[in-house]
Amino acid sequence: MSRPHPWEAIYPPGVDWGAPIVPITLPALLDAAVARFSDLPALRYRGLRLTFNDFGRRVDRLAAGLIAEGLAPGQAVGLLLPNTPAHPIAFFAVLRAGGRVVHLTPLDPLRAIWRKLADSGADWVISTDLLPTGFKLQAGLERQAAGARVFLARDAAWDTGAPPGWPDAAPQACWPKVDPSDIALLQYTGGTTGLPRAACLSHANLTAAVEIYRVWNAGQGRDMSPSDRVICVLPLFHIYALTTILLRALSSGAEILLRARFDTAAVLADIEGLRATVFPGVPTMWTALAAVGDIGGRDLSSLRIVSSGGAPLPQEIATRLEALTGLRLGGGWGMTETSPAGTNLIPGDSYGPGEIGVPLPGIEMRIVALDDPGQVLPAGETGEIAIRGPNVMAGYWQRPEESTAAFADGFFLTDDVGHRDAQGRFFLVDRKKDMIISGGFNVYPRVIEDAIYEHPDVAEAAVIGVADPYRGQAAKAFVALRPGAAPLTLEALRVFLSERIGRHELPTALELRDSLPKTAVGKLSRRELAEP
């Protein structure tokens, strides 16, 4: 008789797949952390260092200020924030006030942000005076919608101690009631269409993911603790950093070294000078660090946990980093829709090509037929990866048909193609669609193509993903110009696209052709472009 969860037999000693995963609310998670770690350092940003008590007080004062301004329970508030203290404070304050967070991406052009605001129903936004887009939203949103509000946090306030410039009031004795099943976050993911589509992540989904990671790591003696300092250069508006750094570090009492952006010199200074112990990154970051000229002579001895996510890491980079640090990079697989817990590689295993590891505690996974998601495939057969667990979203915001189609027998259909072995290790083979993962970000060819088509000289355009030694993948554009048009260069195309798509979406290669290949029904064929 086969085991329903074969991976349990190869779990690391001390890790229990069936350990209870008890979801709570995010305000409750914060309250527990503040009570437990009160005077310990929670966050460091430039010259600012906040204890857990300090952080909790700032959250409560902003929450009270938002309520005083009229924020109602269940109301959506967009956060257009890079990595500054404004993000974690505003994130918890909105939830404390009973609202739900809508993550907006500073990398997006203004029109993409407008689409997400319209889709989510958010007419309140918290941003910063660091972003020109924040000022544009303030002018546009408050003009077009009665009751709309945009608050711009003053970045200089984090250095001077001055008021940050957002609503601030004395904390209330009683906060709006929040239930674990309530939606906490609308996290946008283009999925397979490239159009705005938000995963509805509840308080229960996000806190379950935190607990899932805790059970997995604590069982191996690798969980974060109050003695840890965690480098946070990953963007907090992305689900990877939100859960695996912000929420996990706060719940564990670790100090977050919050940085506005990735810089190799700054990261090395955090490791050597501040003795950082934990560094979650993406392949582009690890590739850049491995390429530092004197990296072999740098003191990386303080690190005890290193991990890579968001995209596959080249094996040669992983091997080099292991030699430099003496540590094996942890890794695995997850999605926005899974908060993003999914699988992890088993420490000490020798990893095969495409291996993503075993399902984490409380998570079930299986392989289903590509043409029939109700048909579960046996070990060794390739199909679509499906996942079920307390961390998996209930559906997409205001997309009932897509939400229904995304599940079969209670399992979320990931659009990722793979297989598992007899012991329960999962392997990623390909994607059902043409999504590109560039530097840890999802990039959608259709979005880029639509923007290229706005160029007056373009007759046809198609975009595919190509291998990139730094980003993992990057976009390559194939373009056929209109008769009589002047030649188009890659630089000119990137300049044209810079206000239409995000920086992470800009093509890194351009190939001009007289015409582009088409399928039998006349559609442009990305497959034929990718084959050479």
* DSSP characters over 288-320: HHHT-TTGGGS--TT--EEEE-SSPPPHHHHHH
> Is the confidence at residue 283, as pLDDT, over 50?
yes
Instruction: Please answer whether residues 390 and 204 qualify as being in contact, where contact means their C-beta atoms are separated by less than 8 angstroms.
Output: yes
Q: What is the pLDDT of residue 450?
A: 83
C-alpha torsion sign, points 150, 155, 157, 158: positive
C-alpha torsion sign, points 279, 284, 285, 291: positive
| Average pLDDT for 420-444 | 85
Spatial distance between the Cα atoms of 159 and 149, rounded to a whole number of angstroms? 26
Q: What is the pLDDT of residue 194?
A: 54
CATH topology of domain 436-530: GMP Synthetase; Chain A, domain 3 (3.30.300)
190 compared with 465, residue with greater pLDDT: 465
Please, how many CA atoms are within 13 Å of residue 123, restricted to the half-sphere of its CB?
A: 12
| Average pLDDT for 93-97 | 98
Per the CATH hierarchy, to which homologous superfamily does domain 6-12+353-431 belong? Luciferase; Domain 3 (2.30.38.10)
Instruction: Please answer whether residues 336 and 189 qualify as being in contact, where contact means their C-beta atoms are separated by less than 8 angstroms.
Output: yes
Q: What is the pLDDT of residue 519?
A: 59
* C-alpha pair distances (Å), 459 with each of 348, 385, 454, 479, 525: 53, 38, 10, 7, 15
> How do beta strands 355-359 and 426-431 pair?
antiparallel
Q: For residue 81, which amino acid is it? A: L
| Average pLDDT for 128-151 | 86
Spatial distance between the Cα atoms of 360 and 111, rounded to a whole number of angstroms? 38
Residues 32-81: tens digit of each pLDDT: 999 999 999 999 999 999 999 999 999 999 999 999 999 999 999 999 99
Q: What is the pLDDT of residue 257?
A: 98
| Same fold flag, 6-12+353-431 and 47-178 | no
Percent of the residues in the chain that have a pLDDT greater than 70, as a whole number = 96
Spatial distance between the Cα atoms of 354 and 428, rounded to a whole number of angstroms? 5
C-alpha torsion sign, points 179, 184, 189, 193: positive
Instruction: Supply the pTM of this predicted model.
Output: 0.86
Mean confidence (pLDDT) of the chain? 92
Give how far the C-alpha of residue 245 lies from the chain's centroid of Cα atoms, to the nearest Å.
Answer: 11
Alpha helices (runs of H) in 385-480, residue ranges in sequence order:
400-405, 445-452
Q: What is the pLDDT of residue 3?
A: 61
> How do beta strands 472-481 and 41-45 pair?
unpaired
Q: What is the pLDDT of residue 142?
A: 76
Spatial distance between the Cα atoms of 432 and 282, rounded to a whole number of angstroms? 23
Tell me the pLDDT band of 320, cut-offs 50, 70 and 90: confident
> Is the confidence at residue 310, as pLDDT, over 80?
no
Residues 498-519: tens digit of each pLDDT: 999 999 999 999 999 998 887 5
Instruction: Tell me how crowded residue 139 is: count the other CB atoms within 10 A of its CB.
Output: 11
| Average pLDDT for 437-450 | 83
Q: What is the pLDDT of residue 356?
A: 93
> Is the confidence at residue 138, as pLDDT, over 80?
yes
Tell me the pLDDT band of 435, cut-offs 50, 70 and 90: confident
Q: What is the pLDDT of residue 1?
A: 36
Instruction: Using DSSP, state whether 9 is helix, strand or coil.
Output: helix
Instruction: Using DSSP, state whether 530 is helix, strand or coil.
Output: helix
Residues 365-410: tens digit of each pLDDT: 999 998 999 999 999 999 999 999 999 999 999 999 999 999 999 9
For the chain, domain boundaries = 6-12+353-431, 47-178, 436-530
Q: What is the pLDDT of residue 121?
A: 95
> Is the confidence at residue 2, as pLDDT, over 80?
no
Tell me the pLDDT band of 520, cut-offs 50, 70 and 90: very low
Instruction: Please answer whether residues 79 and 87 qualify as being in contact, where contact means their C-beta atoms are separated by less than 8 angstroms.
Output: yes
Give the CATH class of 47-178. Answer: alpha beta
Q: For residue 176, which amino acid is it? A: P
Question: Residue length, the chain?
Answer: 532
Q: What are phi and psi of 322, to 5 degrees?
A: -65, -40
Please, how many CA atoms are within 13 Å of residue 280, restricted to the half-sphere of its CB?
A: 27
Q: Among 193-207, 250-264, 480-494, name the one with the lowest average pLDDT.
A: 193-207
> Is the confidence at residue 521, as pLDDT, over 50?
no
> Is the confidence at residue 216, as pLDDT, over 70?
yes
Instruction: Using DSSP, state whether 102 is helix, strand or coil.
Output: strand
What is the DSSP-derived secondary structure letter of residue 420?
A: E
Tell me the pLDDT band of 192, cut-offs 50, 70 and 90: very low
Tell me the pLDDT band of 471, cut-offs 50, 70 and 90: confident
| Average pLDDT for 5-26 | 96
Spatial distance between the Cα atoms of 371 and 331, rounded to a whole number of angstroms? 30
Helix, strand, coil tally for the chain in percent (to 5): 30, 25, 45
What is the DSSP-derived secondary structure letter of residue 14?
A: T
Residues 336-363: tens digit of each pLDDT: 999 999 999 998 888 877 899 999 999 9
Spatial distance between the Cα atoms of 512 and 217, rounded to a whole number of angstroms? 50
Cis peptide preceding 340, ω within 30 of 0: yes
Question: Which of 104, 256, 103, 97 lies closest to 168 in space, CA to CA?
Answer: 97
* C-alpha pair distances (Å), 487 with each of 150, 233, 397: 43, 39, 43
Tell me the pLDDT band of 4, cut-offs 50, 70 and 90: confident
Q: For residue 473, which amino acid is it? A: Q
* Burial bucket for residue 376 (CB in 10 Å: 0-12, 13-18, 19+): middle
Buried residues in 324-343 as b, exposed as e (16+ CB within 10 A): bbeebbbbbbbbbbbbbbbb
Q: What is the pLDDT of residue 314?
A: 67
Instruction: Please answer whether residues 510 and 479 qualify as being in contact, where contact means their C-beta atoms are separated by less than 8 angstroms.
Output: yes
Q: What is the pLDDT of residue 195?
A: 66
